[in-house]
Amino acid sequence: MAKKKEQPTSRHATAEEQNVVGLRSMVVEQPVTETLESNFMPYAMSVIVSRAIPEIDGFKPSHRKLLYCMYKMGLLTGARTKSANIVGATMHYNPHGDAAIYDTMVRLSRGYGALLTPFVDSKGNFGKVYSRDMAWAASRYTEAKLAPICAELFRDIDKDTVDFIPNYDNSTTEPTLLPTTFPNVLVSANLGIAVGMASNICGFNLQEVCETTIALIRDREHSILSTLPAPDFPTGGEILCDAAEMETLYRTGRGSVRVRARWRYDAKAKIIEIYEIPYSTTAEAVIDKVAELVKAGKLREISDMRDETDLGGLKLAIDLKRDTDPDKLMQKLFRSTPLQDSFACNFNILIGGTPKVCGVGEILEEWIAWRQECVKRRVYFDLQKKKEKLHLLNGLKKILLDIDRAIAIIRNTEHESDVVPNLMIGFGIDQAQAEFVAEIRLRNINREYILRRVEETGELEKEIADLELTLRSRRRIENIIVKELEQVIKKYGTPRRSVINYDADFTEPEEEETVPDYPVHLFLSREGYFKKITPQSLRMSAEQKYKENDGPSQHFETTNRAEMLVFTDRQQVYKTRAADFADTKASALGDYLPTKLGMDEGESVVSLVLPGDGSGHLLFFFDNGKCARVPLESYATKTNRKRLTGAYSDKGALRSVVHLTAEQPLAAISTEGRAVVFNSALLAPKTSRVSQGVGVMTLKPKYRLDKAMLLSDTAIVNPARYRVRTIPAAGALLREEDRGEKQLTLLDEL
C-alpha cells in the first residue's frame, strides 16, 4: 500500500523531470562563429550589395527603383504629378516605407540641391541641403517629374542594354543597372554606410568628367588631373587644392578635400556676407559655433550674426565692430568654425557585385568597359531586329514572283489554320515568312507595294553588314561612346560651382594673440588633477589641497599661452593649452584631466610636458628598463587635432617622461632601490614614435623600473657612486642620504 501511495508523487516528479529534459533538448549549442556565418553574414552582405553601396551606374537600389518607376509612369516627357503618387507607385519596386522613398526623392531633387545634376524636377518646398532646420513639405503638397537629363539614364533601356530581374513579389521586372551614357558614378555625390564598410563619393563636374572620359578613351595614359582638376560641390565653396593630396585621392580612392566658404565684404555697411559654405556643413552649425565662440569671448570683433537666406540663395550676414579687419576675422573663422571643413572621400563601389575601393582612373576604366558592353548589347539587339526584318522581306520577295498564285492558295484553302502551311509549301518559305505574307492587307497586294518593300532589302543588308562590323570593332564601339558623351556635354554641361585655389597656404596659420598672457604656475597631481594658479594667488595661500592618497607630481612656471602635451597610459597624447583652464586657488582640487580632455574610460595621466618652441627630445622610460628618445617635433600636427594615438611604444608600461632640451645627466631608479646615473648622450634619437628604445637598467625578474628624471631633480648627493659609462647597467643600491625626495617649498618656487 505504501508503494501505491507513493506512486502518484513519483509519477508527478517524473513528469516534471521530463518537462525539464524537454526544455533542455530545445536549447541547441552553436559556436559563435557558426552563428555569425549563418545569420549575420547574409544580413551584412545584403546591406552591402542591395542597399548601401552604389554600383557602376552611380545609383543605389533605392535610387534606381524610384527613377525607373517614374520613367514607367511617363514622367520623363509628361507633366508633373503629386509626389505622393510617385511614392505609392514606387512601393511596387521598393518594399520600404513611404517616408524612406520620399526622402530618397528629396535628395535627388533640384529643389534640395544635394546633386550637381539633379534627376528630379521638383516643384514645392523640398528643403535645402545647406540647412538642417529647413524641412521639406509632405509628399501630398509637392510635385515632381524626371529632369531632362534622365533621358541619358534610360536611353535604349528597351533594347536589352541591361539585365532585368523580378521585383520583390514577382509582379513585374526592374533593371539591375541603368544604362547611363555618362559616368554618373563620379558626377553624383553618394554616401552609404553598410555593415563593416562605408562609401562616400564626392561629386565632380559633369562636363569635366565627360571630357576626361573621352580623353581616356583616346589615350589610356592621359593625365586625369589635367582635365579633372578637383571635385565640384553643389553648394560651391572654395577648394584648397593640394596637388599631392589630390593625386593620392585620385590614385587610391581615399583622402580628403578641404573646402572653405566664399564671402564678400560690404565696407559701407561693415558687414561680411557668406554666400557659399562647405558641402559637409549647414548654416545652423556655422551660426551655433560662432555664437559659442562669441559667448566665450574668443570673437570680440563680431557684434551680430544672422541668417538672411531667401529665394535668392544662402546668405549669412556678420556685423563687425569698429576697426575690425575682415580678412583677419575670416582667417580666424576658417580655423575655428565649420566655414572651413574637410570632405572625407572613400570611393567604395560595387564592381560585379563585389565592393572595391577604386581610384578615379580605375572607376572610369570600369565604367568604359561596362558601357562598351551596354553598347554592344544594343548593337546586337538592333542587328537581330534587322535580320528578322530582312528574313521576312526575303519571304515577301519570293511572293513577288507569282502574286496570283499566292492569292489562289489563300482563296482555295478551306480552313484558316491551313493558310500558313499552304503558303510555306507553295513558295518554300518558313512559318515566320508565311505569317508575314498572310497578314498583308488586301489593299497592299499589288506589285508597287511589294516592290517598294523588297527594295528595302538592299538597304537592310548594308545596315546589317555595318552593325556586324561594329560588333567586331572596339574602335567603333568607343566612337559611339565618345559621340554620346559629346552630346551630353553639349546638352547638359555647366560651369564649375566650386572655385579651385591652388595658392592656398596649407600650414596651420598662427592664431591671433587674443588670449591674455600673464605668468602662471601649473600643478599636476599623481591622480591627474590639474591647477593653474597665478603668482599673486599663490602668495596669498600656498598650501596645496589634494584628495586623500593623492599628492604633487609635477610643477611648472610658465605663461597663460603655454601649450601642453598630456601623455596617458593608453599610448595617447592630448594637446591643450593653459588658457583652456580657468585660474584657480591652491585650496581647490583643480580640474580632473581625464574628464576635462575627454579621455577614454579608465585612461589616466602619466606625465605633462610643455613643448615650448618644439625643440629638444622626449625620453620615455618604461617599466621593463628601456628608454626611447623621440624628437619633440614628431608630435607637431598641421591641424587642430586634440588627440594623437600611437604616442609611444606599447611594449611596456610608461613610468616617466622627460623633456630634454640639452644633453644632461639622468637618473633611473628601480623598485629594488637601485639607481643608475648616465648621460643622455648615450641615448640615440629614434625616428619612430613607437620605438621600443634601448635598455637603461638591467633588472632582476621581480623588479621593475620605478621612475626616471634629470639628475638635478633628484636628492642624490653622491652621483659618482651610481654613474655608469655604458648602458644597460644594474646600478647601485641607494644610500640613506640619497633616498630622500627633493621637496619644493613656497620660497623655492617664488
Active site (catalytic) residues: 141
Alpha-carbon gap, residue 489 to 144, rounded angstroms: 25
Query: In sequence order, which ranges of 509-609 are alpha helices (DSSP H)?
Result: 535-540, 593-596
- Helices 447-472 and 474-492 meet at what angle, rounded to 10? 100
Question: Prior bond to 685 cis, omega within 30?
Answer: no
Q: Which of 697, 696, 698, 742 is CA-nearest to residue 716?
A: 742
Under 8 Å between Cβ of 305 and 318: yes
- Listed in order, strand segments (DSSP E) in 235-326 are 238-240, 254-260, 262-266, 271-276, 302-307, 316-320
Chain-centroid distance of CA 468 in Å reads: 45
Who's near 459: CB < 8 A, 6+ residues apart? Answer: none
Query: In sequence order, which ranges of 360-446 are alpha helices (DSSP H)?
Result: 360-400, 403-412, 419-427, 431-438
Q: What are the backbone dihedrals phi and psi of residue 592, each rounded to the nearest 5 degrees, phi first? A: -85, 110
**Sheet hosting strand 643-645, strand order edge to edge:** 605-609, 563-568, 572-577, 643-645
Alpha-carbon gap, residue 384 to 386, rounded angstroms: 5
Alpha-carbon gap, residue 212 to 224, rounded angstroms: 6
- Listed in order, strand segments (DSSP E) in 148-299 are 164-166, 173-175, 190-193, 198-201, 238-240, 254-260, 262-266, 271-276
The neighbour count for residue 193, using CB atoms within 10 Å, is 12
Chain-centroid distance of CA 385 in Å reads: 46
Under 8 Å between Cβ of 619 and 657: yes
- Give me Rg for the CA atoms of the chain: 39
The amino acid at residue 471 is L
Cβ burial of 410 (10 Å; 0-12, 13-18, 19+) is: middle
Alpha-carbon gap, residue 532 to 590, rounded angstroms: 8
What stretch of H or E contains 506?
none
CA dihedral 486, 492, 496, 497 (to 10 degrees): -170
Alpha-carbon gap, residue 622 to 705, rounded angstroms: 7
Who's near 526: CB < 8 A, 6+ residues apart? Answer: 550, 551, 552, 553
Under 8 Å between Cβ of 209 and 186: yes
- Listed in order, strand segments (DSSP E) in 496-569 are 499-501, 519-525, 529-533, 552-559, 563-568
Alpha-carbon gap, residue 46 to 43, rounded angstroms: 5
Under 8 Å between Cβ of 626 and 694: yes
Task: Cell 641607494: give the residue.
Answer: 734
Cβ burial of 731 (10 Å; 0-12, 13-18, 19+) is: buried
b/e string for 339-377 if b means 16 or more Cβ within 10 A?
Answer: bbbebebbbbbbeeeebeebbbbbbbebbbebbbebbbb
